[in-house]
């Protein structure tokens, strides 16, 4: 008996008596070499060389590989002359009495030129046949019209085409198998007949012969297989388009491993296939120019060499496995052997896994207690980790490459296993992080951020296509692609609707002569598509198709993408090399075209103010409050600056620059002023007026300082309000000029930068007055910019603010990037959930836009404009573009230190008194105005906001002494206040800046309460008046709000308005209330009216007592800032 591969002698027993399967060795051949003869399923034959056992585990099936005959080449063409039959599908001669069909095998090691030509022309023949069939079916179906006969026609056509595609892929192999695997994942997009038929290509593919396998192992590892493995299963565990996997045991360690071996000759086959696919792509582009995928084929050609080099696959496998294990993701990626690898063979950990498609069977999930949605979420999360946090990801996640292992300890009861890393994509840090930015912005409905990031990636858009409406449409369609997973029936219906909408777009474009838009290509608006994006899209499409095939409905794909992309951006910002080099973090150019130095971000007067550290208790309280807010997830970054007696008694900062930039906020960091820029602009107007009034030769005829505010705006800006308008400066600054109803129809994001056009619009709109005060969000900044140009020759609002308020300490600047600039941010998880309701609302919105555009209405109100395009009013627009863009003034930034320095100026206080600018004027009693002004919706004659305080040191139920201040408060966060009656000589000035607009109003109110509590007061303006409550209830139930409610994530707005209209105190406020307040707040009983009255009194008591200490007074604590007033008295 000859020695076996594991050094033992064979005893001659066959598989039927429990031993491993053997094979016969020809005397003249080395066991590690090919060709040789093998019979599986029969008892070993005794001959001179004996039987060599090669595996410790039996092989299933009855396969027979006969020894290659010398005359094989002569036999292979028998019967194939004039046929397009593909040579790579030849079957070995079947053995006698096997009792089973032989399995197709790979036989590509010695293909001739004639073989390749047959494959090439066979492919083109099939393509042409299927194309002609589809065209004929399309023609016949139009003649039949909708109905069962038409459906049957398409069904039969798709079924026949699917079988032809599957058979050709099995025969031709190579790239055609990979193409079929990708198409099998497009469930709901492609017809079910095609996806179901092609699903077989993910498993049960042809295999290489053992002789070819051993030859590749000997060639790559440099050793005979018996020297490396003590046993080797000759039946492959799996076979794919490039390689197959065998189970084996290492001789050195006894470890069971998987050996991946490339099909011999497949490298040449795949490269030839690329030539065929290039021809196919060119032909398809000729037939249908809208379906030009030649760039995709070229991308495949570039990555194919690395896919065929198993050293690259092994590297990707090793790197991805380490990343997922580090992140704690439950997905399994096999570990690789450190030394056993080569360009065509490598050894890895053996994982005994089952098909992932088992999850599609409800009975299987029930039997094994598997939560399908949790398991699939872990899989999607793994791909997000790889793509955004590492930059190397699997690019071919079809069902054949994804399997699973049952594990009761894992989330959902199973762990996905990711195999076959031949096709992967590796991107650099720039591509990785900017792609993460794209998905983060998509999840936050940030249209401006999406297009800024796409530009950084290298997207090239056709200029004629990039209207605001179309940008919104692209955003909606992108979110549609990444909506929460739905059933395949819903996907199919959605695709049909999209196709109908696309046909209508093409029809209209052809009628209007817009040739660029008259294209069926979904990417007609692009001049170029970056290659890295193609890999992302391919991976997401296949992964989403797999989810649909598994019927994993309700999976929040975009939410998972958004979460992991945010983490990647945060980590990248902390790497100095990245944060200092990538434009993603360095920001935009400022107007001065140079990055200001640290000394330039702090104004001269601010630098001269001594920073006293005497109020240590205040600073400690503020720092503790900032940390508590940050840990609760209610604050991203904030600053608090307090000036008293001409010096800083508190100057504190905390948090990070944005939700995606974890660099720390400093006291010199500039925060976007957002809506507060209108109030700061009003101060610039007042200073200019005082200066002009002191000049007896001024060009505007100002003779009295006290009467300056009563002069008509048209005296300075002749064209305002249609010319000859009677609106005064007092009315304009006090938001009583009618601007809130003067938005142009079609107002959108691009209008935020069109200062001249908006000024012309305000000159065409007749504004005569008088008007009720209504907060003029955005339009106030445009009006003041033009007014500044007329009064002081200031060409931009920034230059005007710098000239008038810079000497007082304001450090206003356009965005300059770096660590001295915070960004507007919001993190609302519900926005990243994309439902079919949102998708349908997007379609309805596009129809409404077409109808509205044809109506020709001149102006509309703030609510009407926001309903038509809410993204034009999105505060995140303040992050868009470069520093030279106006963005409605939203992007202009300043620090809390600079704002406090300016407002505490004794010079400014004297000028305000001289002008009579602090006299109380009208109030905006609408819910919208109250929310946008942070509750401070009463103005002074000079355009500042009235800020009343309440004592928290008096009686529990009786109001204490009151103090009134003035300042600038924005409902999105920034808050600037001066209280002449508090603090040392000169009063108390408090400036608060925040960058999280989602919690901005509540956080600013809490921080203001924390500061004022040390002086015995709390803000009273955060309590919603009853008139505002009534309007909130009306608005919450009105049809005006309906379009906004359909927008993703904003459904909570209605609940918030209803909550505010009821004045319901928060749970935290009730818990923290003193005994007298708590007893009334907890009042229960059957008598509704009396009960509500008592609870209302309790809420007033809570407001008067300060609600449990600092930060709770006046309804300023928690998210309930503004809920201090309970329901109206109902007795």
Structure tokens at 882: 């470069």
Helices (H), 402-552: 429-443, 447-457, 468-481, 488-512, 531-549
User: Measured between alpha carbons, how far is 726 from 714 in angstroms, rounded to an integer?
Assistant: 7
Query: At 992, phi and psi to the nearest 5?
Result: -130, 130
Those residues whose C-beta lies under 8 Å from the C-beta of residue 388, and which sit 6 or more positions away, are 432, 433, 435, 436, 439, 561, 564, 565, 567, 568
For tokens 């599609």, the residue is: 360
User: Measured between alpha carbons, how far is 23 from 371 in angstroms, rounded to an integer?
Assistant: 45
Of 1000, 997, 1005, whose CA–CA distance to 1023 is shortest? 1005
Structure tokens at 875: 């505060």
Q: How many angstroms separate the Cα of 417 from the Cα of each of 360, 397, 402, 541, 725?
A: 16, 11, 6, 19, 72
Helix (H, G, I), strand (E, B) or coil at 940: strand
Query: At 984, phi and psi to the nearest 5?
Result: -80, -170
Of 1041, 1046, 1061, whose CA–CA distance to 1126 is shortest? 1061
Give the distance from CA 615 to its chain's centroid. Answer: 44
Q: Quick one: 389 exposed, middle or buried, by C-beta within 10 A (0-12, 13-18, 19+)? A: buried
User: Measured between alpha carbons, how far is 278 from 286 in angstroms, rounded to an integer?
Assistant: 12
Residue-by-residue DSSP string for 63-123: -EEPPPPTTHHHHTTTT-TT----GGGPPPPPPTT--SPPPPB---TT--HHHHHHHHHHH
Helix (H, G, I), strand (E, B) or coil at 1088: helix
Q: Can you say whether residue 593 is alpha, beta or left, with left for phi > 0 and alpha for psi between -120 and 50 degrees? A: left
User: Measured between alpha carbons, how far is 820 from 815 in angstroms, rounded to an integer?
Assistant: 9
Q: How many angstroms separate the Cα of 145 from the Cα of each of 140, 501, 503?
A: 9, 19, 18
Active-site residue set: 396
Q: Is the peptide bond before 35 cis (omega within 30 degrees of 0)?
A: yes
Sign of the four-CA dihedral 14, 15, 21, 26: positive
Helices (H), 574-672: 576-579, 583-586, 604-608, 616-631
Helix (H, G, I), strand (E, B) or coil at 732: helix
User: Measured between alpha carbons, how far is 635 from 1000 in angstroms, rounded to an integer?
Assistant: 8
User: Measured between alpha carbons, how far is 105 from 239 in angstroms, rounded to an integer?
Assistant: 10
Q: Quick one: 403 exposed, middle or buried, by C-beta within 10 A (0-12, 13-18, 19+)? A: buried
Query: Is there a contact between 652 and 626 (Cβ–Cβ < 8 Å)?
Result: yes
Q: How far apart are the first and last CA of the chain?
A: 107
User: Measured between alpha carbons, how far is 1021 from 597 in angstroms, rounded to an integer?
Assistant: 38
User: Measured between alpha carbons, how far is 116 from 279 in angstroms, rounded to an integer?
Assistant: 14
* DSSP classification of residue 1040: G
Would you mind telling me the total number of residues written for the chain in this entry?
1131
């Amino acid at each position: 008996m000859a020695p076996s591969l594991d050094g033992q002698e064979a005893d001659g027993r066959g598989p039927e008596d429990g031993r491993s399967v053997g094979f016969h060795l020809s005397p003249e051949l080395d066991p590690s070499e090919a060709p040789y003869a093998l019979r599986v399923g029969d008892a070993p034959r005794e001959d001179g060389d004996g039987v060599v056992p090669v595996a410790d585990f039996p092989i299933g099936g009855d396969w027979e590989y006969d020894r290659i005959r010398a005359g094989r080449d002569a036999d292979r063409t028998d019967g194939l002359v004039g046929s397009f039959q593909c040579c790579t599908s030849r079957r070995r001669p079947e053995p006698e009495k096997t009792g089973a069909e032989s399995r197709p095998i790979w036989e590509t090691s010695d293909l001739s030129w004639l073989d390749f030509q047959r494959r090439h022309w066979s492919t083109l023949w099939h393509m042409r046949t299927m194309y002609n069939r589809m065209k004929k079916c399309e023609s016949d179906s139009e003649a039949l019209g909708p109905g069962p006969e038409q459906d049957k026609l398409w069904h039969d056509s798709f079924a026949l085409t699917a079988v032809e595609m599957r058979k050709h892929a099995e025969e031709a192999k190579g790239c055609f198998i990979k193409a079929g695997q990708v198409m099998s994942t497009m469930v709901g997009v492609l017809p079910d007949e095609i996806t179901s038929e092609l699903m077989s290509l993910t498993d049960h593919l042809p295999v290489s012969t053992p002789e070819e396998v051993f030859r590749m192992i000997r060639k790559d590892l440099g050793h005979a297989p018996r020297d490396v493995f003590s046993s080797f299963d000759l039946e492959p565990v799996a076979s794919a388009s490039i390689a197959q996997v065998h189970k084996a045991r290492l001789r050195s360690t006894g470890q069971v491993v998987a050996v991946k071996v490339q099909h011999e000759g497949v490298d040449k086959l795949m490269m030839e296939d690329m030539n065929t696919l290039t021809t196919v792509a060119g032909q398809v582009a000729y037939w249908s120019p809208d379906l030009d995928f030649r760039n995709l084929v070229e991308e495949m050609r570039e990555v194919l060499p690395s896919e065929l080099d198993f050293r690259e696959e092994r590297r990707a496998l090793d790197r991805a496995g380490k990343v997922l294990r580090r992140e704690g993701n439950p997905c399994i990626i096999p570990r690789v052997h450190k030394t056993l690898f080569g360009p065509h063979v490598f050894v890895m950990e053996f994982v005994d896994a089952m098909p992932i498609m088992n999850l599609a069977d409800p009975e299987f999930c029930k039997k094994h207690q598997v939560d399908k949605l949790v398991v699939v979420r872990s899989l999607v999360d793994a791909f997000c980790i790889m793509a955004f946090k590492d930059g190397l990801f699997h690019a071919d996640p079809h069902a054949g490459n994804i399997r699973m292992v049952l594990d009761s300890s894992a989330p959902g009861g199973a762990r996905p296993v990711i195999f076959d890393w031949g096709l992967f994509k590796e991107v650099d840090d720039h591509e990785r992080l900017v792609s993460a930015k794209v998905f983060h912005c998509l999840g936050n409905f940030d249209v401006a951020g999406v297009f800024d990031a796409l530009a950084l990636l290298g997207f090239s858009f056709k200029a004629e296509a990039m209207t605001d409406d179309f940008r919104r449409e692209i955003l909606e369609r992108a979110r549609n692609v990444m909506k929460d997973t739905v059933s395949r029936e819903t996907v199919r219906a959605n695709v049909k609707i999209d196709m109908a909408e696309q046909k209508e777009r093409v029809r209209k474009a052809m009628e209007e002569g817009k040739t660029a838009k008259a294209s069926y290509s979904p990417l007609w608006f692009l001049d170029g598509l970056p290659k890295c994006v193609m890999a992302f899209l391919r991976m997401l499409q296949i992964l989403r198709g797999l989810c649909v095939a598994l019927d994993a409905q309700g999976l929040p794909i975009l939410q998972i993408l958004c979460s992991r992309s945010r983490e990647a951006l945060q980590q990248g910002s902390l790497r100095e090399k990245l944060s200092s080099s990538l434009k993603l973090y360095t920001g935009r150019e400022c107007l001065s075209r140079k990055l200001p130095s640290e000394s330039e971000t702090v104004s001269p007067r601010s630098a001269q103010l001594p920073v006293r550290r005497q109020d240590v208790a205040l600073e400690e309280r503020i720092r503790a409050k900032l940390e508590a807010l940050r840990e609760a997830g209610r604050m991203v970054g904030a600053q608090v600056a307090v000036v008293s007696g001409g010096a800083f008694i508190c100057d504190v900062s905390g948090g990070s620059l944005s939700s995606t930039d974890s660099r720390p906020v400093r006291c010199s960091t500039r925060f976007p002023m957002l809506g507060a820029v209108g109030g700061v602009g009003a101060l610039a107007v007042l200073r200019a007026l005082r200066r002009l009034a002191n000049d007896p030769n001024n060009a505007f005829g100002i003779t009295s300082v006290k009467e300056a505010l009563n002069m008509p705006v048209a005296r300075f800006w002749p064209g305002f309000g249609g010319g000859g308008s009677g609106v005064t400066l007092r009315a304009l600054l006090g938001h009583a000029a009618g601007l809130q109803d003067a938005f142009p129809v079609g107002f959108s994001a691009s209008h935020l930068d069109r200062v001249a056009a908006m000024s012309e619009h305000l000159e065409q709109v007749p504004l005569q007055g008088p008007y009720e005060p209504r907060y003029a969000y955005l339009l106030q900044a445009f009006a003041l910019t033009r007014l500044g140009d007329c009064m002081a020759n200031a060409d931009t609002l920034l230059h005007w603010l710098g000239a008038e308020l810079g000497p007082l300490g304001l450090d206003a600047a356009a965005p300059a990037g770096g660590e001295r600039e915070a960004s507007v941010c919001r993190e609302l998880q519900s926005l990243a959930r994309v439902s079919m309701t949102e998708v349908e609302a997007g379609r309805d919105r596009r129809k409404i836009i077409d109808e509205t555009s044809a109506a020709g209405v001149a102006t509309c109100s703030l609510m009407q404009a926001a309903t038509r395009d809410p993204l034009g009013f999105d505060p995140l627009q303040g992050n868009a573009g470069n520093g030279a863009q106006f963005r409605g003034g939203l992007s202009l930034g300043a620090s809390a230190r600079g704002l406090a320095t300016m407002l505490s100026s004794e010079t400014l206080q004297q000028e305000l008194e001289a002008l009579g600018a602090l006299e109380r004027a009208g109030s905006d009693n609408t819910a919208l105005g109250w929310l946008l002004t942070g509750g401070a919706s009463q103005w002074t004659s000079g355009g500042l906001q009235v800020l009343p305080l309440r004592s928290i040191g008096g009686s529990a139920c009786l109001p204490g002494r009151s103090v009134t201040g003035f300042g600038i408060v924005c409902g999105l966060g920034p808050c600037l206040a001066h209280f002449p009656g508090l603090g040392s000589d000169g009063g108390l000035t408090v400036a608060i800046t925040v960058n999280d607009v989602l919690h901005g109003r509540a956080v600013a109110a809490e921080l203001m309460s924390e500061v004022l509590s040390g002086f015995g007061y709390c803000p009273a303006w955060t309590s919603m008046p009853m008139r505002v409550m009534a309007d909130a209830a009306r608005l919450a139930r009105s049809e005006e709000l309906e379009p906004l409610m359909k927008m993703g994530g904003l459904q909570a707005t209605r609940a918030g308005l209803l909550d505010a209209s009821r004045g319901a105190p928060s749970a935290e406020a009730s818990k923290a209330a003193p005994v007298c307040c708590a007893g009334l707040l907890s009042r229960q009983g059957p008598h509704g009216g009396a009960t509500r009255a008592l609870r209302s009194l309790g809420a007033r008591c809570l407001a008067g007592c300060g609600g449990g200490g600092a930060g709770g007074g006046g309804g300023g604590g928690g998210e309930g800032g503004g809920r201090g007033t309970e329901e109206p008295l109902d007795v």
